[in-house]
Structure 1
Amino acid sequence: MRRSIEDLRIFYGEPAGALARRLLARRLEDAWGEATNSDVLGLGYATPWLDAFVGARRVVAAMPGGQGVELWPSVGKNRTLLVDDRRLPFAAGSFDRILLVHALEEADDASALMAEAVRALSPAGRIILVAAARGGLWARAETTPFGHGRPFTRGQLERLVRAAGLEPTAWSQTLYVPPWGPLLALADGFEQVGKRIMPGAAGVILLEATRREYARIRPGGAVATVPVMTPALQPQPASRSRREKLAGADLAGTRERP
């Protein structure tokens, strides 16, 4: 059973939720920037991050029936709707970017959900899965949405996307700080230290994937997958002003791709 929309809204209005929102936004900005000229779908509960995609042509928030739907500012291109996550009401290839947050962990059938997401993905589209990390402390805290449902390892997410016909292209982790009030103020320090000496303590995994025919190919024909020792999502090219802003920000640390 999915967490209700009210539970999710309450959590993201609390200090722990605000922190999770900020740290995840940092990783997503590094990966997709403003999603310029893209059609973006948020599946699950993605509205806390969708407003950042100011360059998108349109942004749709699709919320599963078992969760419920919330009002979201419908300014021109923004829309929300309630969906059956096993039968999404979108034509094939409708979206260039699909973001799954609080979607997989409590899905009745994660494979069916992924199949529908891939159907809605454009041929050159990119998808990011955000899921609670099995080894992290956030998956053990029932006071957060990450402590409900089924957490994942990176390997499990990779197998899930490959079974749906995608190829992993980048990954990242965040939320190294334990979800305890007195420690939340130290989150940025935990981020810097955790990714170097405690990678298994991350609370959330982000995995990006594309269709196999658009995966990068190494010389010799091997499909380029994510290097194990370099957890980072690859930024999307942005405008000069945006590159200058990002250059001064503390984002995802090392950014390397094969």
Structure 2
Amino acid sequence: MHLDVLDLHSFYYRTPLGRVAQRAVRDQVQKLWPDAKGQTVAGFGFSVPLLRPYLEQARRVIALMPGPQGVMPWPVGMGNVSVLCDEGSWPLSTGMVDKLVMLHGLETSEHPSEVLAEAWRVLGPGGKALFIVPSRSGLWARRDGTPFGFGRPYSFNQLETQLKRHDFTPERTLAALFAPPLHQRFWLKTADFWETGGRRFAPWLVGGVLIVEASKQMYAPTRSGLKSVVTNPLRALEGIPQPLPAPASRTSGPSGPCGDGC
């Protein structure tokens, strides 16, 4: 079940804990993708907190928001780039996206296979996608006070298996949100300390979210071998005895077979 877009906006932009979460996840996205100059960057779900750094450098930025969640205009004070769409039918041409960010789009969907199929379709050959989901072993998935407490949490193996089933190639994995999901000032002020320590000592055990970078690889079709068969000489007559060449006949001289001596 998707969360309402207004609740997501309120959490990320109006609560101190939401701003801490936004910064922690966005820093990891920037670490993986520091540059998108001249590229088309798209997001699905509620990915706008992570897309803002690409507004100035990317050729095009598109924020896709699923119908059950709702849509809001974004970014503030600039031309709107957010679009309401169906989970299984995105209004993008096949292969037009270079980079795709998915946040609060997979774990809350009732049709995850359709979402992944569309993600694979819109990516160009060699395009990359970041799938950001709640961690099954983290603290954030165990509290309903944040958006990561809704939907299906994943382990790394579960997420990578699902991506491979839809022809994605997982390449890099990260975790984020090591600070406890608590609103008290002490935890908010020490969030950077928990993030640094968590990435160093327990990157996959206590992180609140998992981040998997996957790519779309296009392989050349396998040749049938017909060309090599046709170009080889036909061997249908192999094994049949060949007729021996007849001996050359002797040519008679001008005066008959004995010449002038008969």
Give the equivalent residue in structure 1 for 2:6. 6
How far apart, CA to CA, are the structure 2 residues paired with 1:207 and 1:186? 26
1:73/1:197 Cα in 2 relative to 1: closer, same or farther (>3 Å)? Answer: closer
Q: Which runs of 4+ in 1 moved over 6 A?
A: 74-77
How far apart, CA to CA, are the structure 2 residues paired with 1:157 and 1:87? 22
The reply to whether residue 21 of structure 1 matches residue 22 of structure 2 is: yes
Deviates most, 73-82 or 122-131: 73-82
Give the equivalent residue in structure 1 for 2:234. none
Given the alignment, which residue of 70, 73, 82 partners 1:71? Answer: 73
Map 1:1-258 → 2, pairs under 5 A: 1-12=1-12, 13-53=14-54, 54-73=56-75, 79-182=81-184, 183-199=187-203, 200-213=205-218
The structural deviation recorded for 1:4 is: 0.2
Give ranges in structure 1 of 5+ residues lacking alignment: 215-258
Structure with higher Rg: it is 2
The structural deviation recorded for 1:73 is: 2.7
Give ranges in structure 2 of 5+ residues lacking alignment: 220-262
How far apart, CA to CA, are the structure 2 residues paired with 1:43 and 1:3? 13
1:121/1:41 Cα in 2 relative to 1: closer, same or farther (>3 Å)? Answer: same
Contact 2:126 2:217 in 1 (8 A): no
How far apart, CA to CA, are the structure 1 residues paired with 2:36 and 2:90? 22
Number of equivalent positions = 214
The structural deviation recorded for 1:88 is: 1.1
Give the TM-score, by structure 1 length. 0.79
The structural deviation recorded for 1:78 is: 5.6
1:78/1:29 Cα in 2 relative to 1: closer, same or farther (>3 Å)? Answer: farther
Deviates most, 193-202 or 147-156: 193-202
Contact 2:73 2:80 in 1 (8 A): no
Percent identity, please: 36
The structural deviation recorded for 1:24 is: 1.0
The structural deviation recorded for 1:75 is: 7.7
Contact 1:59 1:78 in 2 (8 A): no
Letter in 1 for 2:217: R
Q: Helix, strand or coil: the match of 2:62?
A: strand
Q: Name the Cα RMSD after superposition.
A: 1.6
- What do the CA deviations read for 1:23-80 (whole angstroms, capped 9, x no partner)? 1111111111131111011100011121101211000000000000011138887611
